[in-house]
Structure formats: C-alpha cells, structure tokens
Copies of this chain bind each other. A is one copy, B any other.
Amino acid sequence: MNVLYHFPLSPFSRKVRLCLGEKKVEVKLVEERYWEQDPEFRRRNPAGKVPVLKMGNKMLTESMAICEYLEDIFPEPALMPRTSDGKYEVRRIVSWFDDKFYHEVTSKLMGERVFRKLMGTGYPDSSNVKAGAKAIKYHLDYMTWLLEKRRWLAGNELSLADFAAASHLSCLDYVSDVDWNRSEVVKDWYAKIKSRPAFRSILADNIPGFPQSPQYANLDF
C-alpha cells in the first residue's frame, strides 16, 4: 500500500494528493505534524518536511520531484504536455507558485494565521499578514493575465501548474484569504478545478481548532 505522509494545509502535500488523485493511484494518507520533528519521521525524510510518499520500499520527497516521477511512471492522464516548450511553461509556473507565491503569500498568511498557533510560536505578526494580503492581489492579477490567453494556467490543457496554484489558493481559501471577486476568470478556473473528483479529499479536510471557511467546500462559491 502506498502511503502519503502529509499535512492537510501544506500546499506541497496538496499538489501531490491532486496528482495521485487525478492519476487514480491509491494511497493511504497519514497526517504528519512535521514541525514536531518526530525521529521516526526524520528517518523517512532527512529534510524534515512533508510530503513524503512511500511507494513499495521507496521513500520519495520534494513535491515537484515526486509529481514528475508520478508523471513518468503513470503517464495517463497526462499532467504535463509533450512538447519542450509546453513542459518548460508548466515547470516555470509550478516554480512561480511553489517559490515566489509561497514566500510572498502562503507563508505570510497561513504561516502567521495558522501555523504559529499550531506550532505554538506566538501571535501573528501583522506586518507579515499585511504584506501577504497585498501580494496576493498582484498574483491574482498575474493569473488573470495568463488565463485570459489560455484555458488553463500553462496552456490549453490541465497540468501540474494548475494543481500547484490551486494547492496554494485552496489552503488560503480554507481561512478565507482569497478574494474571489477580484477576478472572474480566476474564479471560473478555480470552480473547474474544485469540481474535479481529485479535489474531493481536499475539500473534506478539517483541522481541529480551525474550522473551514463557509465557501471552502462549496462548489458554488
């Protein structure tokens, strides 16, 4: 049995969950409070992060390396275009979200509002929250600009780029940090992703002490 060690509000775990779900790879989810640095978990992943995917005797880490590996061994349905230009664009956008968006937005908003409380590291730093709330606007505008030219973020087919972006946005939406009224095209795009069967387990996530925001699991948000 495949096992994914994850945390529900980790966007990197969500990207892998969506990829597994879309490719219909069965997996048992095990929640890992990775910041508690359980020695057993450190042995599974010396980087001390989630997600970690156990497949057979392999322990796979680093979310994009895992997704590319899944794409390699389970090529259908494809989450990566076949052309060099197409693959480049998917990888560029995944990096945009997992690096730039994560540091400018996700870690600032989720990090302050949720993880500080979970990890017991004090009160939210309001300057970070403000910076994150400001930066997300610019990112939503960038997504609008892309989606006005294409059906999906990296081209006309659904890809890992959409899953990377939706993973971050869905974590933020859990705590009501996304203004869906800012952009009609982004909202339409998210509605399409949200209604996919692979998204169901994500919409069922519940973190004790942090109730889902009302629109989170609603397909007509």
Task: Give the residues in chain B near A60, CB-CB below 8 Å.
Answer: 88, 92
Q: Provide the A52-73 mask, 1 if CB < 8 A to any CB of B, else 0.
A: 0000000011101110110011
Contact A69 B95, beta carbon cutoff 8 Å? no
Please tell me if A137 contacts chain B, counting CB pairs below 8 Å: no
Contact A91 B73, beta carbon cutoff 8 Å? no
Please tell me if A120 contacts chain B, counting CB pairs below 8 Å: no
The verdict on A65 contacting B91 (CB below 8 Å), with A72-B84, A73-B84, A84-B72 known, is: yes
A contact residues vs B (CB 8 Å cutoff): 46-47, 49, 60-62, 64-66, 68-69, 72-73, 84, 87-88, 91-92, 94-96, 99-100, 142
Task: Give the residues in chain B near A68, CB-CB below 8 Å.
Answer: 87-88, 91
Interface CB pairs A-B, < 8 A, 21: A47-B96, A60-B92, A61-B92, A62-B95, A62-B99, A64-B95, A65-B88, A65-B92, A65-B94, A65-B95, A68-B88, A68-B91, A69-B84, A69-B87, A69-B88, A69-B91, A72-B84, A72-B87, A72-B88, A73-B84, A99-B99
CA A198 to CA B68, docked complex, whole Å? 28
CA A88 to CA B16, docked complex, whole Å? 14
Task: Give the residues in chain B near A73, CB-CB below 8 Å.
Answer: 84
CA A96 to CA B64, docked complex, whole Å? 11
Task: Give the residues in chain B near A100, CB-CB below 8 Å.
Answer: 47, 49
Shortest distance from the beta carbon of A55 to any chain B beta carbon, whole Å: 11
CA A72 to CA B66, docked complex, whole Å? 19
Identity of the chain B residue whose Cβ is nearest the Cβ of A95 in the assembled complex = B62
Contact B62 A91, beta carbon cutoff 8 Å? yes
CA A49 to CA B95, docked complex, whole Å? 12
CA A47 to CA B95, docked complex, whole Å? 11
Pick the residue among B64, B88, B96, B142 that contacts A91 (CB under 8 A): B64
**What are the 4 closest A-B residue pairs judged by CB atoms, nearest first?**
A65-B91, A72-B84, A62-B95, A69-B88
Task: Give the residues in chain B near A47, CB-CB below 8 Å.
Answer: 96, 100
Shortest distance from the beta carbon of A119 to any chain B beta carbon, whole Å: 17
Task: Give the residues in chain B near A142, CB-CB below 8 Å.
Answer: 46
